[in-house]
Structure 1
């Protein structure tokens, strides 16, 4: 029986402890997994990594792992952050041509709301 391709718990081949997809030990989580638990890395260094083969490219994909014991709670979402986020989203929804709130994020490809994009004659 052979070892999985990315099995390197000592970090000799890849420089940091490396595990294949879904084989990381307990106590290590990715940023997304920490966030789902209400935690953040909190400035700690990367403890290990998970590597897997990608069908899209030749290079393997990598996701960094952090220790759950050293993770800190997520900072609370303040009223000032909420206001800033609302203002940024309003800017992304406001059409530069007609100036109204479209109610959705404007497509970057068009740069305007859909009614304004439809009224512009198509250049062949």
Structure 2
């Protein structure tokens, strides 16, 4: 086993407090938040089960792992929540000066669309 891998191999958690594995060395049944999300799952309130450590730019890096069998399905937004999100996104694209709906989000620093901010006609 390479020295780098051996430095992060602690499956019992004696050295780091959590079971620790090297990069791509975690056993099946564990996943990061990003991997859970890709599978349509979420941690669901479970504690961190293990961690993956590796040497990165600026020092040692860590990614926390959760047990896949304890993960819950991702929650989906209700129709009312989706409608509220759509309404809020529409408001971000509507100019407060000329009331035109733009294809881009209105910059908050300007408070109006780019045409109105330049002083031109929309």
Name the counterpart of 1:15.
17
Could you say if the C-alpha distance between residues 110 and 10 of structure 1 is closer, same or farther in structure 2, counting changes exceeding 3 Å?
A: farther
Pairwise CA RMSD? 2.5
- When normalised by structure 1's length, the TM-score is 0.74
Could you say if the C-alpha distance between residues 116 and 36 of structure 1 is closer, same or farther in structure 2, counting changes exceeding 3 Å?
A: same
Post-superposition Cα deviations, 1:69-98, rounded to whole Å, max 9, x if no partner, equal 111112233201211211221233233444
More helix by share: 2
Which segments of 5 or more consecutive residues in structure 2 lack a partner in the other structure? none
Q: Rg larger in 1 or in 2?
A: 2
- When normalised by structure 2's length, the TM-score is 0.75
Q: Please say if 1:53 is aligned against 2:79.
A: no
After superposition, residues 36-47 of structure 1 pair within 5 angstroms as 36-47=38-49
Name the count of aligned residue pairs.
118
Residue 49 of structure 1 deviates from its aligned partner by 1.5
Residue 19 of structure 1 deviates from its aligned partner by 1.9
